Amino acid sequence: MTAGLTIGKHQVKYPLIQGGMGVRISGYRLAGNVALNGGIGIVAAAGLGLDSESYTGKNFFAADHQALVDELRKAYEIAPDGVIGVNCMVAVKNYDDAVRASCEGGAKIIISGAGLPMNLPGLTADYPDVALVPIVSSVKAAELIVRKWQKSFQRFPDAIVVEDPDTAGGHLGEKMENIGSGDYDQYATVRGVKAYLREKWDVEIPVIAAGGVWDHDDLEYAMQQGADGVQMGTRFVVTEECDADDAFKQAYLDCSKEDIGLIMSPAGLPGRAIKQNIEKIWQWDKDNDTYCPSACLKKCAYQTSRDRFCIMHALDRSQKGNTDTGLVFCGSNAWKAKRIETVKEVFAELFPDVE
């Protein structure tokens, strides 16, 4: 396997991006330690403010901004020379501010999904060294982004992540009825995106496979199928350095393959999670008569009609250890987790043949 991955002006030893997992699952400890070990560490911007010292219950967006800047600072204290970035969800109301806070905090890469980041280059115009990486699940989505970025900003993405909705965790960029149908071919999409960039624009940029990568064999297969690197989230949850509470990690260790399935998020997107407690999540909001506490999403069925549940606070409860009434997002491979390991041990298993 060819070692190394270059995205924009930033190079790492291993072709691996740690997936962004929101509401403080991938915070400074995980991102910093992944970067320290030669990968790209990613802080997830979504929901950081809920668990910050400055959060009063009424200042979510201001707290979110400061928490992201603080999280990046602490990540760089772990890996001063590492490549650390931020995952920013298009679906949140403070998307523009999260991007600006990422740049302000020193993020070297911004990865953006949960919607098409059409205006991302404009938001980062004052930070030309920040690499920009959209997440797509289809060649069509990649085409739309590239055409828009070229027309409006004369810029190409520095890499593109192709996320497999059949295996990835959290919010997914596909309609519920199409997930698991057997029609989707992730690596055909990877190759299709590469072919589009080469044939239409005569450019070569890294295309990263996300979803379903657990071990060395999965990584090797992804590279053989044309990916330039992989994005992995789920396996990093069951590490000592993951920022989530031990109870969240235990939920992965305890789950079976059958426990993992799809839910419909109030954001209007399908999501993959450990789903047995979904009724308890709904019931928690009913019992506590909660309204929309943070108004965090651009589109939210709970905010408009109290349909389903408050997803941000359900995720916040689980990462703090309340996995009984909290939502536990995960990828399809979470059931493979058998023990808590260190980030260093994960890298050693994934890249045994790289000095």
pLDDT digits (tens, 9 = 90+) for 60-112: 788 889 999 999 999 999 999 999 999 999 989 899 999 999 999 999 999 99
Per-residue pLDDT, 186: 96
Mean pLDDT of 20-49: 95
**Residue range 11-26: mean pLDDT, rounded:** 96
**Six-digit token string for 86:** 């931020």
Contact 165/211 with Cβ under 8 angstroms? yes
pLDDT digits (tens, 9 = 90+) for 173-214: 888 999 998 889 999 999 999 999 999 999 999 999 999 999
Compute the mean pLDDT over every residue in the chain, rounded to the nearest whole number: 93
DSSP for residue 51: G
Q: What is the mean pLDDT of residues 243-249?
A: 97
Task: Note the pTM of the prediction, 2 decimals.
Answer: 0.95
Q: Which residues contact 20 (CB under 8 A, 6 or more apart)?
A: 26, 42, 43, 44, 45, 86, 87, 111, 233
Percent of the chain with pLDDT over 90: 79
pLDDT of residue 54: 80
pLDDT band at 305 (very low <50, low <70, confident <90, very high): confident
Domains annotated on the chain, with CATH: 5-244+337-350 (3.20.20.70), 248-329 (no CATH)
For residues 106 and 118, give the distance between their C-alpha atoms in angstroms, rounded to a whole number.
22
CA 147 to chain CA centroid, nearest Å:
24
pLDDT score of 289: 80
